[in-house]
């Protein structure tokens, strides 16, 4: 009887976004955190928004990050950062 192999794949990503100051980074975080929880966890360190995500497949991670970056882009536009 052939042994069954169980393959567990995990993909993760850490993104860092630097802003003019910590207050701006916090505003961006507040704008995106509800939409992306629990798929993306994020916090502010100084003037940097640090976002992390993990998924069971690379495809799933890419979809999550695509959504997150779109939400981040909208937040930056609304806050007049771009």
Nearest-5° Cα angle at 69, 34 to 44:
60
Give the CB-side neighbour count of residue 81, counting CA atoms within 13 A.
18
The enclosing H or E element of 49 equals: strand 48-55
Fold for 11-78, please state it.
TATA-Binding Protein (3.30.310)
Residue 65, classed as helix, strand or coil, is helix
At residue 81, the pLDDT reads 73
**Where along the chain do its domains lie?**
11-78
pLDDT tens, position by position, 20-79: 999 999 999 999 988 888 899 999 999 999 999 999 999 999 999 999 999 999 999 998
């Amino acid at each position: 009887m052939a042994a069954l192999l169980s393959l567990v794949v995990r993909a993760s990503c850490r993104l860092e976004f630097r802003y003019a100051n910590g207050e701006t980074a916090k505003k961006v975080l507040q704008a995106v955190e509800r939409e992306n929880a629990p798929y993306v966890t994020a916090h502010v360190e100084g003037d940097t928004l640090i976002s992390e995500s993990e998924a069971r497949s690379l495809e799933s991670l890419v979809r999550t990050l695509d959504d997150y970056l779109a939400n981040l882009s909208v937040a930056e536009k609304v806050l007049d950062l771009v």
